[in-house]
Structure 1
Amino acid sequence: MEITVRGEVDGHGLDAAWAEAAEAALPVAVIDLSGVSFGDSALLNLLMRAQRHHDGGPSL
């Protein structure tokens, strides 16, 4: 699964994409941030939670 993110991101608009990725339960998810012009701490927090979830930690 590939999730492509563009523009300014504050993390709140990505919840549906993360839910879809978690539901798919695929072994690999690619998150393309090359089109992001701004990402705040909420985006970084979401990325860290996704990594934890992928590693078998607490769910998103």
Structure 2
Amino acid sequence: MPTLFSTGIEALDKVLPKGIPRNSMMILAGELGTGKSVLMSQLLYGVLKRRKEPC
């Protein structure tokens, strides 16, 4: 069973209660101007903010 991690985004964690599998690839698709880049920026920020070791 893969290790899962929280997104750090409360609304997204409600939709994905078990989390996102580590070492996996996901595709985020949508129309122009729907917030894909903003969502990924927030996801990256949330994950990096919770890291124990520096990047």
Give TM-score scaled by structure 2 length. 0.39
Higher strand share: 1
Structure with the larger helix share: 1
Larger relative CO (CA 8 A, sep 6+): 1 or 2?
1
